[in-house]
Amino acid sequence: MSLFYDFHIHSCLSPCAEEDMTPYNLVNLSAIMGMEAIALTDHNSCQNCGAAMRAGEQAGITVIPGMELCTCEEVHVVCLFEELKAAEEFSDFVLRGAPQIKNRPEIFGTQLIMDETDKILGEQEILLTMASSISIDDVEKLVDGYGGVCYPAHIDRSSYSVISNLGMITPEMGFEVAEVSPMGDVHALKEKFPVLNNMKILTSSDAHRLESLRPAELSLHTENNIKSIIRHLKNR
Ligand SMILES: [Zn+2]
Ligand SMILES: [Zn+2]
Mind listing the pLDDT tens digit for each residue in 148-194? 999 999 999 999 999 999 999 999 999 999 999 999 999 999 999 99
For residues 103 and 124, the answer to whether their CB atoms sit within 8 Å is yes
Nearest ligand (C-alpha, residue 159): 1
Q: Which residues are near ligand 1, the ion (C-beta closer than 5 Å)?
A: 76, 153, 160
pLDDT digits (tens, 9 = 90+) for 141-161: 999 999 999 999 999 999 999
Query: What is the pLDDT at residue 235?
Result: 85
Q: Is pLDDT of 97 > 80?
A: yes
Structurally, the chain folds into a number of domains equal to 1
Q: Is pLDDT of 1 > 80?
A: no
Report percent pLDDT > 90 for the chain. Answer: 98
Q: Is pLDDT of 197 > 80?
A: yes
Nearest ligand (C-alpha, residue 207): 2
Q: Is pLDDT of 236 > 90?
A: no
* 7-14: average pLDDT: 98
* 202-207: average pLDDT: 98
Query: What is the pLDDT at residue 37?
Result: 98
Q: Which residues are near ligand 2, the ion (C-beta closer than 5 Å)?
A: 68, 206
161 CA distance to ligand 1 middle (Å)? 7
Q: Of the candidates 205, 165, 161, which has an alpha carbon nearest to the alpha carbon of residue 183? A: 205
Question: Mean pLDDT over all residues of the chain?
Answer: 97
* 80-94: average pLDDT: 98
Nearest ligand (C-alpha, residue 205): 2
CA–CA separation, 209 vs 12, rounded Å?
A: 9
- SS3 percent helix, strand, coil of the chain, rounded to 5, is 35, 25, 45
Boundaries of domain holding 47: 2-234
pLDDT digits (tens, 9 = 90+) for 59-68: 999 999 999 9
From residue 60, alpha-carbon distances to 31, 44, 45, 52 in Å are: 8, 27, 24, 12
CATH code of 165's domain = 3.20.20.140
